[in-house]
Amino acid sequence: MKLSLQRAITSLTSALDFVGVDEVHHGKRVALMALGIASELGWDRASCRDLLYAGMLHDCGVSRTREHRQLTETLEWEGAEEHCLRGEEFLLACPPLAQFAPVVRWHHTRWEQLQRLAIPPDTRLWANLIFLADRADVLLAPYFSGQSLKNEILWEYPAITRRIG
């Protein structure tokens, strides 16, 4: 049986949604938001595809419901780096997914800090784009009803934009 990388990542991230966390589809929403931004920036198709995969995998290092709640209830949390390090380790151990490890490693690092690190510019940009989409999803979470946004978000987006800015 031949399995494409796309199907493997989709299956893996679907399974991760059911392991120890209570926020379903967070990774997929983050991936789609990041993809939307990259598309608007004119990224090429291959980069957009890989960013989508990195976004879907970004929280693969979350191992406990308590940890996940801290990540989804606050914009920034002191212990956020722990799951980034675990995720990087998991992905490095799986050669087909190892290319996403650096982005997962740095996806909770602020842009100011990323600029001071000796990491490739693309890794900085990808990680920061996922961080932005991740935090936007956290702020949007109270407005989700099932798979779609409730109308109240239309009134709340200026406050959400200010908090991200």
- What are the pLDDT digits (tens) for 10-60? 777 766 654 444 456 788 888 999 999 999 999 999 999 999 999 999 988
Mean pLDDT lowest among 31-35, 111-115, 160-164: 160-164
A 10 A CB-CB count for 12 gives: 16
Q: What is the pLDDT of residue 20?
A: 43
Measure the N-to-C terminal CA separation of the chain; round to a whole number of Å: 47
Q: Tell which residue, 29, 56, 47, 30, has the closest CA to residue 129.
A: 30
For residue 15, the enclosing domain spans: 5-164
Q: What is the pLDDT of residue 142?
A: 63
Percent of the chain with pLDDT over 90: 42
CATH number at residue 99: 1.10.3210.10
CB 105 within 8 A of CB 85: yes
A 10 A CB-CB count for 156 gives: 14
Report which DSSP code applies to 1. Answer: -
Count: domains in the chain: 1
Express each pLDDT in 120-154 by its tens digit. Answer: 999 999 999 999 998 888 777 666 555 555 556 55
